Structure 1
Amino acid sequence: MPLHDDFGMATLSRDSVTALPMQLRRESSTPLAAQLADALRSAAVSGQLRVGDRLPSTRALAARLEVSRTVAAAAYEQLHAEGWIAGQHGSGTYVTTVPAAAASAEQPRYPSRPEGMRLDLVPGTPWADGLDRAAWRRAWRTASDVDPLLRPQRSGLAEFRTTVAEHLLRHRGLVAEAGSVLATSGTSSAAGELAAAGVFGADATIAVEEPGYQRAVQAFRSCGLRVVPVPVDSGGLIPEAVPAGVRAVYCSPAHQYPLGGRMVAARRVALVERARAEGLLVIEDDYDGELRYDVAPLPLLAALAPDVVVHLGTTSKILTPTLGVGWMVAPQPVAAQLLAYREQTGINPAAAGQRVLVELARNGDLARHLRRLRRELAARRAMVVDYLTAKGLTVRGDDAGAHIVVPLPSPGAERAVLDAAAEQGIWLDGLRRHYAAEPSEYGVALGYSNCSRETLRAALPELVGILSEGSAPCG
Structure 2
Amino acid sequence: MSETALPVRLDRKSELPLAVQLADALRDAAATGHLRGGDRLPSTRALAERLGVSRTVTSAAYEQLHAEGWIAGRHGSGTYVTTSPPGSRSVSGAVPGEVRDRTDLLDLTPGVPWADGLDRAAWRRAWRAAGDPMPAYREHRAGLPDYRAAVTEHLLRHRGLATHAVLSTGGTTAAVFELAGAVLSRDDVVAIEEPGYQRAVQTFRRAGLRVVGVPVDGEGLRPDAIPQGVRAVYCSPAHQYPMGSRMSASRRVELVDRARTDGILLIEDDYDGELRFDVAPLPLLAALAPDVVAHLGTTSKILTPTLGAGWMVAPPPVAAAVLEYRERTGTRPSPAGQRIVVELARHGDLGRHLRKLRRELSERRTMLSAALSAAGIPLLGDDAGAHLVVPFDSAETERARLAEAERAGIRLDGLARHFAGTPTVHGVAIGYAGCSREALASALPTLVGLLGKRPVG
Q: Give the TM-score category using the shorter length.
A: 0.7 to 0.9
- Paired residue for 1:402? 386
The partner residue of 1:215 within 199, 203, 207 is 199
SS in 1 for 2:266: strand
- Paired residue for 1:373? 357
Seen in structure 2, the aligned counterparts of structure 1 residues 399 and 321 have a Cα distance that, compared at 3 Å, is same
Structure 1 residues 401-460: Cα deviation after superposition (integer angstroms, max 9, x where no partner): 000000011111000011111111211100000001110000000000011111101100
Paired letter, 2:140: Q
- Paired residue for 1:426? 410
With normalisation by structure 2, the TM-score equals 0.78
Shift of 1:196: 1.8
Let me know the Cα RMSD of the aligned residues. Answer: 1.3
- Paired residue for 2:70? none
Q: Tell me, in whole angstroms, the C-alpha distance in 2 between the residues paired with 1:438 and 1:308.
A: 30
1:247 and 2:223 correspond: no
- Paired residue for 1:442? 426
Contact 1:117–1:422 (CA under 8 A) maintained in structure 2: no
Q: Tell me, in whole angstroms, the C-alpha distance in 2 between the residues paired with 1:244 and 1:122.
A: 35
Shift of 1:203: 1.1
1:147 and 2:131 correspond: no
With normalisation by structure 1, the TM-score equals 0.75
Paired letter, 1:172: R
SS in 2 for 1:456: helix
Structure 1 residues 296-340: Cα deviation after superposition (integer angstroms, max 9, x where no partner): 000000000000000000001000112111000011111111111
Contact 2:146–2:342 (CA under 8 A) maintained in structure 1: yes
Shift of 1:189: 1.2
- Paired residue for 1:130? 117
- Paired residue for 1:37? none
Contact 1:117–1:427 (CA under 8 A) maintained in structure 2: no
Shift of 1:115: 3.2
Contact 2:220–2:240 (CA under 8 A) maintained in structure 1: yes
Q: Tell me, in whole angstroms, the C-alpha distance in 1 between the residues paired with 2:455 and 2:145.
A: 58
Paired letter, 1:176: T
Structure 1 residues 52-82: Cα deviation after superposition (integer angstroms, max 9, x where no partner): xxxxxxxxxxxxxxxxxxxxxxxxxxxxxxx
- Paired residue for 2:81? none
Q: Tell me, in whole angstroms, the C-alpha distance in 2 between the residues paired with 1:111 and 1:327.
A: 28
Contact 2:397–2:456 (CA under 8 A) maintained in structure 1: no
1:165 and 2:152 correspond: yes
Shift of 1:473: 3.6
Shift of 1:113: 6.1
- Paired residue for 2:371? 387
Equivalent pairs, count = 361
Q: Tell me, in whole angstroms, the C-alpha distance in 1 between the residues paired with 2:306 and 2:260.
A: 37
Paired letter, 1:434: H
Matched-pair identity in %: 65
Larger Cα Rg: Structure 1 or Structure 2? 2
Paired letter, 2:166: V
Paired letter, 2:401: V
Give the alignment of 1:40-119 within 5 angstroms: 112=99, 115=102, 117-119=104-106
Q: Tell me, in whole angstroms, the C-alpha distance in 1 between the residues paired with 2:446 and 2:397.
A: 17
Shift of 1:116: 5.2
1:190 and 2:175 correspond: yes
* Structure 2: tracts of 5 or more residues without a match: 1-96
The partner residue of 2:253 within 255, 269, 280 is 269
- Paired residue for 1:458? 442
Q: Tell me, in whole angstroms, the C-alpha distance in 2 between the residues paired with 1:305 and 1:445.
A: 31
- Paired residue for 1:297? 281
Paired letter, 2:122: A
